[in-house]
Amino acid sequence: MRFGLFGKDNAGKGKADKAVASEAATRIKAETRDLLGLPEQAAIAVNEILCADPACPGTETVILVMNPGEKTRAYKAQTPMAELTREALIVTLELAADR
């Protein structure tokens, strides 16, 4: 039996990980829209990135807010999407507003 990258032991894991990420992204988008008071026509993109730079904290959540007629705003939370709480999101959005 073959295991590893293409083996049975990973068969369901990818789908489960994608489902968790999708749920987290949907939640973060809704909370961002609510906290910033964004209209429905504003587009929100949520992505998780792994920074290879040793100075980076590792996995970050990047939120892009694209509101018609405004410059795109980017917010970074130094935590994975699934671990980003509403409270941490509030802090992330407030810190970016202070810049």
Q: From CA 70, how far away is CA 64, in angstroms rounded? A: 12
Q: What digits encode the pLDDT tens for the residues 27-68?
A: 999 999 999 999 999 999 999 998 777 877 789 999 999 999
Q: What digits encode the pLDDT tens for the residues 2-16?
A: 444 444 444 555 777
Q: From CA 58, how far away is CA 38, in angstroms rounded? A: 29
Q: Which residue did the predictor score with more confidence, 95 or 34?
A: 34
Mean pLDDT over residues 94-99, rounded?
74
Instruction: Map tokens 């980076």 to a residue.
Output: 56
Q: Is the pLDDT of residue 20 over 90?
A: no
The pTM of this model reads 0.79
Q: From CA 74, how far away is CA 65, in angstroms rounded? A: 6
Q: From CA 94, how far away is CA 88, in angstroms rounded? A: 10
